[in-house]
Structure 1
Amino acid sequence: MIDLLIAGGTVLDGTGAAPRRADVAVTGRHVAAIGDLAGRPAARTIDATGQVVTPGFVDVHTHSDLTLLSGPQAHSAVRQGVTTVVVGNCGLGVTPVAADRAALRAAAGYLDADPAVRWDWSDLPGYLAALEAARPSVNVAALVAHIPLRAAAVGFGDRPAGAAELDRMRGLLGDALAAGAAGVSTGLVYAPVCYAREDELEALGRTAAAHGRLFAWHVRDYADGLLDSVRQALRVATATGCRTQISHLAAVGKRNHGSVARALELIDDARAAGADVAFDVYPYLAGNAPLAQLLPAWAQEGGEEPMRARLALRDVRARVTAGWRDMPNSWDVITVSRVPDGSEDVTGRTVADLATTAGTDPSRVALDLLAAHGNGVQIVAGGRSERDLLDALTHPAAVIGSDGQALDPHGPTGRGVPHPRSYGCYPRLFAEYVRRPGGLDLAEAVRKCTSAPAERAGLAGRGVLRPGAVADIAVFDPARIADRATFAAPQQYPDGIRAVLVGGRPVVEDGVHGGARPGEILRTP
């Protein structure tokens, strides 16, 4: 007896192979058979006529480290077809906790949408145990983040790591990799890792390479310094031999439009020379980040509390404001998306608009927000090029990663006006960049969402649809799938999703989350 039969659909197996008409049989947690299964008895059948049946999407770049503990149903992720997420990206993470716990939590304020979530762990096994106890609806793999590694070994100051401190970081990272972490990530715009020298990055890369794991890079600059930042990542990849993933490749600011094509040439040259390098991208022309990312490194030294105190000083504010006069983006394309106290009169408005209302300068508004709320202030920032996005999406080394979070619009993580990618990244890809004339091939787009990111993250057996594979499956209408989340009203689920299975169990059917929480915590052996 088949437990579940997905009948009458068109199967895209995630490898890029051509679609074929087939039924999919699920028994227990695994795919039992794929083919013409008419007449086979099944305890339950999902009619997939007119639908495509694919592996569930593997979101290689998320920041759901803490939101899954607040809302383990993972509503905004699983309802768009995501069945596996990778957390710990951009150097922002929650383990190891070997430094001042409060300071580390403040440094990771971007992740911290629900202050009621308790940090009871000190290392990766403890954090993964907390995730297991939460029983998420999606599978979760974790990267080890650079910020907690550096905080544990060096602290929050602006200085290079010494030899003993590099050994300490390597040891902590090695322990976490041995405990099943999928790799390591850095985020070179964030304090304190913005103070890291290249020898420190090479130390992390060599440790990752020794374990056969991924090194994911939020590079040092996505604006005027994008090309030099990509060159640094490629130098470390070449020197260490580590599998390297450049995160959310984009160019910020009109004066930098076209830089993505040149960055892709650098990546192509490195790949031709033997480096294992790829990148992820999401289908939007705006990003999401802490407002503190716009501060110079010197203003962030010492951690959040010293930063906030520093920003109350007149000479410091004048110096920061002077530097902001040549920003690649203007304040009218930078929208406040979240503040820790949930102030509705601030969120959803541009910094320029807030300044006009207050009769003051936008820089003053931004500095006041940072002084009051620190790293918890989030922004959505535009200023990107459609041509750059298309160049990235269509590149063979590109995979899709939302850079979003699993959010619950009716829970604590639903506050503010988040980036719509958390609700609509994957449906938007198919609606806007596959269905358009001359767009991405459907099978190739599915590959970029499934087997390709799973391979980058080292998640063996995930992201493919074949007999014996874990039955993480998405069923959707390729003519109807579309994002409904917008920048003005982001907390809306997509259209066109027929069903989402995680480990053989239906979690979403016809857009409704049924409450199942069968996700696994994935440990890399």
Structure 2
Amino acid sequence: MTQALDVVIRGGTVVDGSGGEPYRADVGIVGDTISVVGKIDDVGRVEVDATGQFVTPGFIDPHTHYDAQVTWSHSLRPSTYHGVTTVVMGNCGVGFAPCKPQHRDILVTLMEGIEDIPEIVMTEGMPWQWETFPNYLDFIGARAFDADVAAYLPHAALRVYVMGERAKASEKATEQDLAQMTAIVAEAVRAGAIGVSTSRNLMHRGSDGNMAPHVQSDRDELLALARGLKEAGRGVFQIIPQMIDHAAQHQVAVEGQPQFVARELALFREIAQTSGGPVTFSLTDAAWAPGIYTHALEESARVNAEHGTQIRPQIFPRPIGMLIGLDLSVHPFMYHPTYLRIKDLPVDERVAILRRPETRKQLLSEEPDTTTAGAKGAAYVSIALEGYRLGNPPRYTLGPDRSLRAEAERRNVSLFEVALDWLLDGDGTTMYLAPGGNVGSETLENVAEMLHDPNAIVGLGDGGAHYGSVCDAGFPTTLLGYWVRDRQGEGQIPLGKAINMLSRRNAELFGFMDRGLIAPGMRADLNIIDLDRIDAQMPEVVRDLPADGRRITQRAVGYTATMLRGTFTHRGDVPTGATPGGLVRSAFVDAL
């Protein structure tokens, strides 16, 4: 007698995550596991009609910062609006464990400055019921979420834990410090960390303006972290390289792009050979060094072929940058004297005042006063004036005719005047995008080259961070809506390949061998997708954080259902409120 099926998803087209062609099949589920894929005659306790739709594995987001959000919330939105069923947090070397009580303010200051999470949100929201990284994992492991959660050990937290104020001052680690770091990395991975993360981005600074303690760590320290992974016998090393750092611009100009990339990849090779596991690094087509990504892709492939390493560029399927809006962290008028007098009013009151002819005239006659903000403030204003209209629903192919600069030229007015008009659209809720990476052409040939690289993984969504300036967690929807459905001709991605990129390819990188594939015995983490309808919605501001904190979120349509561990977390694009997810501890497979 066959076991009764709890759920049967009937009549859909299965895209199984392997990268192969879609095929028609039913999917039967018992408990949290896929039981059968094929023609099912038995009736399930719950029957779902997926006729005309695609059934896929749940998606795995490899780059998030939910480290704080998981301590107060059971929802990992906006990622879970977009078919994501597993998230990896603790990226870029920042997080909240390990941490001694006297160092909490250091880690909060770092997260506020680097990831744009307000200090009050963290201090009021986080219970701090941990000190070591295993303590932190145990705390997270006792909670429930609408997605599964895996965590890196963050280098900044580790360095401060070991070195205290010496870490904050960016002092060189001693041999004793390095030995302790190696031991703590190994301990964390044995307890369930999926690896260790760091950053070499010299723009990564705390909200106090000071350099993050980990970004200037030398080769010896990075290899000490890698030795911890080796001792534990598993783990991924995630790193932000200097090659995507504005501070490296001069050095790239002097050395040349190929030489600069080769230097970074030589370091990654040493890390990979020391740890024995994969290294993944963030890669975009940097606006200050167009085309550098091509050298990075080629050098990664060469090093892997010659040395047997797994160095995996982590790429993004659309332009990446800051959202600009009146209710966000950055806009062109944030340092204008007239605006500063009303900046603390509710957004609707600010809009009403800014629409007055006399206020508009005065505002546009002023120059931004960045005296107190310095170069950073001037840079923000400059960035905000190089924006593009997104539209509603948003479109991320940013043609030159949609730029703020082009409209100013057409109308023969200042950039500030166009920006003001854009900001006052939609009662002040409209946002536009100021991209800093993956820009260059309306048809995104640069992005297409990265997406089609067999060594690359798709990620960099940054969910849980940049609450007032970025909302990129909807990248799975962009990949499906634009690159699979709407893209025509060269660069279009077959559906089977796109689903593999969002699911099994990422699962294999982290050793999550129980998911990312539709097959008997695999986890019942699934999406039912109406590809004709799939689309991201306009980003919006919500206030659902501790201390009434604000964040940007982005919903989607076209996800008929999302299932995690055999339980529906979304039906008809709407969350069900179910939270069957939890902590995923490392189980890296040596054979990968």
Q: 1:518 maps to what in 2?
A: 580
Q: 2:242 maps to what in 1?
A: 220
Q: 1:391 maps to what in 2?
A: 449
Counterparts of 1:11 and 1:169, CA distance in 2: 45
Q: TM-score of the superposition, structure 2-length normalised?
A: 0.71
Task: Choose the corresponding residue for 1:360, options 352, 368, 372.
Answer: 368
Task: Choose the corresponding residue for 1:265, options 298, 301, 306.
Answer: 298
Pair member with larger Rg: 2
Q: 1:139 maps to what in 2?
A: 148
Pairwise CA distance, 1:170 = 0.8
Q: 1:431 maps to what in 2?
A: 481
Query: For residues 265-344 of structure 1, what are the structure 2 equivalents within 5 Å?
Result: 265-273=298-306, 274-287=308-321
Question: Is the deviation greater in 82-91 or in 223-232?
Answer: 223-232
Distance 1:402 1:150, change over 3 A: same
Counterparts of 2:586 and 2:495, CA distance in 1: 30
Query: For residues 75-90 of structure 1, what are the structure 2 equivalents within 5 Å?
Result: 75-90=77-92
Task: Choose the corresponding residue for 1:493, options 555, 561, 582.
Answer: 555
Distance 1:231 1:121, change over 3 A: same
What stretches of structure 1 of length at least 5 have no aligned partner? Answer: 289-334, 338-343, 371-378, 408-412
AA aligned opposite 1:153: V
AA aligned opposite 1:382: G
Number of equivalenced pairs = 455
Q: 2:472 maps to what in 1?
A: 421
Query: For residues 3-402 of structure 1, what are the structure 2 equivalents within 5 Å?
Result: 3-37=6-40, 39-98=41-100, 100-109=103-112, 110=115, 112=117, 114-115=121-122, 116-118=124-126, 119-154=128-163, 155-189=167-201, 190=204, 191-210=212-231, 211-223=233-245, 224=249, 225=252, 227=261, 230-237=264-271, 239-253=273-287, 255-273=288-306, 274-287=308-321, 347-350=329-332, 359-360=367-368, 365=373, 381-385=435-439, 386-402=444-460
Does the CA contact (< 8 Å) of 1:160 and 1:195 recur in 2?
Answer: no
Does the CA contact (< 8 Å) of 2:335 and 2:368 recur in 1?
Answer: no
Distance 1:351 1:124, change over 3 A: farther
What stretches of structure 2 of length at least 5 have no aligned partner? Answer: 205-211, 253-259, 338-362, 379-432, 543-551, 588-592
Counterparts of 1:22 and 1:354, CA distance in 2: 60
* DSSP-derived class of the 1:243 partner: coil
Does the CA contact (< 8 Å) of 1:62 and 1:87 recur in 2?
Answer: yes
Counterparts of 1:352 and 1:101, CA distance in 2: 30
Pairwise CA distance, 1:350 = 4.1
AA aligned opposite 1:145: P
Counterparts of 2:451 and 2:116, CA distance in 1: 26
Cα displacement string for residues 93-124 of structure 1 (whole angstroms, at most 9, x for unaligned residues): 11111461211222222274533222221122
Are 2:500 and 1:447 aligned? Answer: yes
Counterparts of 1:287 and 1:233, CA distance in 2: 27
AA aligned opposite 1:174: A
Pairwise CA distance, 1:33 = 0.5
Counterparts of 2:503 and 2:319, CA distance in 1: 23
* DSSP-derived class of the 2:556 partner: coil
* DSSP-derived class of the 1:193 partner: coil
AA aligned opposite 2:577: G
Pairwise CA distance, 1:405 = 1.5
Question: Is the deviation greater in 186-195 or in 139-148?
Answer: 186-195
Pairwise CA distance, 1:461 = 1.3
Pairwise CA distance, 1:6 = 0.7
Cα displacement string for residues 214-260 of structure 1 (whole angstroms, at most 9, x for unaligned residues): 1011112404346266325433235415333333311322x411111
Question: Is the deviation greater in 227-236 or in 345-354?
Answer: 345-354
* DSSP-derived class of the 1:134 partner: coil
* DSSP-derived class of the 2:488 partner: coil
Cα displacement string for residues 367-398 of structure 1 (whole angstroms, at most 9, x for unaligned residues): 5869xxxxxxxx97525333332221111112
Pairwise CA distance, 1:520 = 2.3
* DSSP-derived class of the 1:68 partner: helix
Counterparts of 1:126 and 1:494, CA distance in 2: 35
Counterparts of 2:267 and 2:561, CA distance in 1: 39
Q: 1:319 maps to what in 2?
A: none
Cα displacement string for residues 473-496 of structure 1 (whole angstroms, at most 9, x for unaligned residues): 111022321212359996331111
Does the CA contact (< 8 Å) of 2:32 and 2:566 recur in 1?
Answer: yes
AA aligned opposite 1:214: V
AA aligned opposite 1:506: F
AA aligned opposite 1:165: D
Counterparts of 1:61 and 1:215, CA distance in 2: 12
AA aligned opposite 1:219: P
Counterparts of 1:351 and 1:242, CA distance in 2: 50
Counterparts of 2:330 and 2:48, CA distance in 1: 40
Does the CA contact (< 8 Å) of 1:92 and 1:108 recur in 2?
Answer: yes
Does the CA contact (< 8 Å) of 1:61 and 1:247 recur in 2?
Answer: no
Counterparts of 1:14 and 1:476, CA distance in 2: 14
Cα displacement string for residues 73-95 of structure 1 (whole angstroms, at most 9, x for unaligned residues): 22311121000001111111111
Cα displacement string for residues 48-81 of structure 1 (whole angstroms, at most 9, x for unaligned residues): 1111111100111111111233331223111210
Pairwise CA distance, 1:419 = 2.1
Does the CA contact (< 8 Å) of 1:73 and 1:137 recur in 2?
Answer: yes
Counterparts of 1:85 and 1:503, CA distance in 2: 14
Counterparts of 2:173 and 2:333, CA distance in 1: 37
AA aligned opposite 1:40: D
Counterparts of 2:228 and 2:434, CA distance in 1: 34
Q: 1:328 maps to what in 2?
A: none
Distance 1:87 1:488, change over 3 A: closer
AA aligned opposite 1:251: D
